[in-house]
Amino acid sequence: MTAKKNGKKKRFLRVKVLLVVLVLLVAAFIALCYLTPSESSESGLTSSGEIKDLELPAPVAGEQIIRHTGYTLSYNEEYEVPSYVAYELTRDEVIGGGEREDSFKSDPDVRTGSASLADYKGSGFDRGHMAPAADFKWSDEAMSDTFYLSNMCPQEPSFNRGIWADLEAVVRTMAYDNGKVYVVTGPVLTDGPYETIGENEVAVPKRFYKTVLDYTDPDIKAIGFVLDNEGSDKALQSFAMSIDDVEEITGLDFYPALPDDIEESVESTYSTSEWNFTEYVPNGETSDAAAAAYVGHEDSMKDKVFNAILDVFVEIKTEIFKSLGLTETAKRFGLL
């Protein structure tokens, strides 16, 4: 009799242990579902950044959209400059090892004709890149395409070679640190009239803007900048503002492909403390005397293994919820 009771107690204890282990495993599974990236939904909207043309602002009425290797621009015929230039910049692209070869040229894809080399000659202004050549070292074709004059604006030399170049280098650091960012940049075209140069009367903008979106887990964030077309010794942080503020100044609608709730959240606020303002300098190169060197590190084997495990788990959890017929419920609670 005693032996039977002891046997029942042992079985009961084993069941309790199994139930506790099961509860812990379920809890761990749910926690990992929340902590790991989401799979693509049917709409293509994901928290890990896989949205088609996420970098593109809303179309500007009457303007031609032109796609070149690695970037897209909207051409303003009235002012002969782009209203915006947009592109995705990844860590691997930042590391790209191509060499710059200047090849400024008119853009044959502009139906009405772009600015010309003659417009800039003797003007005293630099042909200032909007999508900078250094962001496209990953491809000779992409690098060459950045030298189309449709990607240029007249810039004061002290601005183009100074604080504007500094901001471009900082954006490369942002891309390296976060793995991927979405950049939109261009002239402010709402505060004319403007000085013009050349036979094509290319407008000389008074200000330039740049917006940067990090749409990767866990910290989705965005930041904007508006700078006068002149040299400055001020810290770049002093020119920072929210995306909403840049939209008000430029009249453009940035990142409209974002889910509405996320767009409202990331565009209404910004924090300079969430971004690294060190200028990116590739390995083996030296920085300008005024610039702080930044050399990125390679992912460790530990990081690579961890990321691989996360990728596998994302696939597993997706299949589990799918087999249980709970895909929509899981999405509703943020598990997918």
**Catalytic choice (68, 127, 129, 137):** 129
Note whether residue 288 is domain-resident: no
Note whether residue 196 is domain-resident: yes
Q: Taking residues 192-200, what's their average pLDDT?
A: 97
Note whether residue 167 is domain-resident: yes
- The answer to whether 136 and 146 have CB atoms below 8 angstroms apart is yes
- The answer to whether 320 and 330 have CB atoms below 8 angstroms apart is no
CATH number at residue 228: 3.40.570.10
Note whether residue 316 is domain-resident: no
Q: Taking residues 46-57, what's their average pLDDT?
A: 76
Note whether residue 109 is domain-resident: yes
Q: What is the total count of domains within the chain?
A: 1
| Residue 129 bears catalytic tag | yes
Please check the confidence at residue 312 and state whether its pLDDT lies above 70: no
In the structure, what pLDDT confidence band is assigned to residue 214 with cuts at 50, 70 and 90?
very high
* CB neighbours of residue 93 within 10 Å: 20
Note whether residue 256 is domain-resident: yes
So what's the pLDDT on residue 4?
58
Task: Tell me the C-alpha distance between 318 and 314, whole Å.
Answer: 6
Note whether residue 31 is domain-resident: no
Neighbour-count burial for 150-164, b at 16+ CB within 10 Å, e otherwise = bbbbbbbeebbebbb
Q: Taking residues 157-178, what's their average pLDDT?
A: 97
Note whether residue 4 is domain-resident: no
Residue 156, domain extent: 64-274
Task: Tell me the C-alpha distance between 224 and 243, whole Å.
Answer: 5
Q: What angle do CA 282, 47, 222 make, to 5 degrees?
A: 55
Mean pLDDT of the chain: 84
In the structure, what pLDDT confidence band is assigned to residue 300 with cuts at 50, 70 and 90?
very low
Task: Tell me the C-alpha distance between 70 and 88, whole Å.
Answer: 8
Task: Tell me the C-alpha distance between 23 and 5, whole Å.
Answer: 27
For the stretch 98-126, pLDDT in tens is: 777 789 999 999 999 999 999 999 999 99
Residue 256 buriedness (CB in 10 A; 0-12 / 13-18 / 19+): middle
Task: Tell me the C-alpha distance between 316 and 181, whole Å.
Answer: 28
